[in-house]
């Protein structure tokens, strides 16, 4: 039986090819040229030297393993709420089939805030990079496991660097880390901000001991964010105790299942005081 990731990637590949045929090879160049502003600095927002907890609020309508998260989903409203409550940046899921997201959600979140907004999707083709830029993304998520070809992965990082689009690079196991360190020799932006995930991409199960093991692969020059399954202050403390460098988190469902996501974020941050 295929994993969640296998199913998602098969669907993404099919949709990418259809998009290329429909839009043509020149569409991405036009989108880059027509963007009316410069990206807000995602890497700068998550990288200040601090011992305090920093949280990137994640906005998504659904997940492959959990279904719809909230019935009153409004990306713009949630974005305003999370920004007001202390999020340093936002991550917005735009994948339509499994996460019920869209680029409209990303644009709505960005229009309603002044902090950086990352496009959370499955970027597996360099073609998707300028399309993300043209749609208003300030950064993109690149999941190492989703791109098995090192050459294509290098092209994705190069495409982002060429248009000054920040990257959050996600690793899920030791092999991902080894591949990324190799590619990072020729693509410095690949190692600028790395997300160490607690999630098993085959089963989507969470292991909070995993991020610290993955963090050990990277030097202090890399800003590390913890991804996947962080819901409570106890989860944050477990991660931080396992590795003092891990004080930056991307949190989604743990906030979005609350009636007021901003209040849930405030509670997590105030628990530190």
Given a cut of 90, whether residue 159 has pLDDT beyond it is yes
Structural contact between residues 138 and 41, judged by C-beta atoms closer than 8 angstroms: yes
Q: Are 256 and 60 in contact (CB under 8 A)?
A: yes
- What the block records as the tokens of 262 is 């901003």
Please determine, for residue 219, whether its predicted confidence score (pLDDT) is greater than 90: yes
Give the range among 31-35, 44-48, 105-109, 173-177 with minimum mean pLDDT.
Answer: 31-35
- pLDDT tens track for 82-100: 999 999 999 999 999 999 9
Parallel/antiparallel/unpaired status of strands 193-197 and 166-171: parallel
Mean pLDDT within 225-244: 93
The counts of H helices and E strands in the chain are 12, 10
Q: Does the global pTM surpass 0.75?
A: yes
Work out the pLDDT band at 36, boundaries 50, 70, 90.
Answer: confident
Answer whether residue 31 shows pLDDT above 80.
no
pLDDT band for 271, please (50, 70, 90 cuts): low
CB neighbour class for 267 (10 Å; exposed up to 12, middle 13-18, buried from 19): middle
Quick count: other Cβ atoms within 10 Å of Cβ 87? 27
Residue with tokens 């989604």: 252
């Amino acid at each position: 039986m295929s994993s969640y990731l296998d199913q998602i990637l098969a669907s993404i590949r099919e949709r990418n090819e259809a998009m290329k045929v429909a839009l043509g090879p020149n569409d991405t160049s036009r989108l880059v040229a027509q963007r009316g502003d410069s990206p807000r600095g995602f890497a700068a927002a998550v990288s200040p030297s601090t011992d305090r907890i920093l949280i990137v609020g994640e906005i998504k309508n659904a997940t492959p393993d959990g279904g719809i998260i909230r019935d009153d989903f409004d990306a713009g409203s949630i974005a305003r709420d999370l920004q007001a409550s202390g999020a340093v940046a936002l991550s917005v899921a735009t994948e339509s089939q499994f996460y019920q997201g869209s680029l409209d959600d990303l644009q709505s979140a960005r229009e309603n805030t002044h902090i950086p907004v990352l496009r959370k999707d499955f970027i597996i083709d360099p073609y998707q990079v300028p399309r993300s830029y043209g749609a208003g993304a300030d950064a993109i998520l690149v999941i190492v496991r989703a791109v098995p070809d090192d050459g294509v992965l290098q092209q994705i990082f190069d495409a982002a660097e060429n248009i000054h689009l920040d990257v959050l690079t996600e690793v899920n196991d030791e092999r991902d880390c080894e591949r990324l360190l190799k590619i990072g020799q020729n693509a410095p932006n690949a190692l600028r901000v790395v997300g160490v995930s607690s999630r098993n991409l085959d089963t989507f199960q969470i292991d909070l001991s995993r991020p610290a093991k993955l963090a050990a692969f990277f030097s202090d020059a890399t800003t590390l964010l913890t991804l996947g399954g962080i819901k409570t202050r106890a989860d944050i403390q477990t991660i931080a105790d396992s590795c003092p460098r891990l004080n930056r988190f991307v949190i989604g469902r743990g906030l979005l299942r609350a009636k007021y996501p901003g209040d849930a974020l405030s509670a997590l941050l105030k628990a530190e005081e």
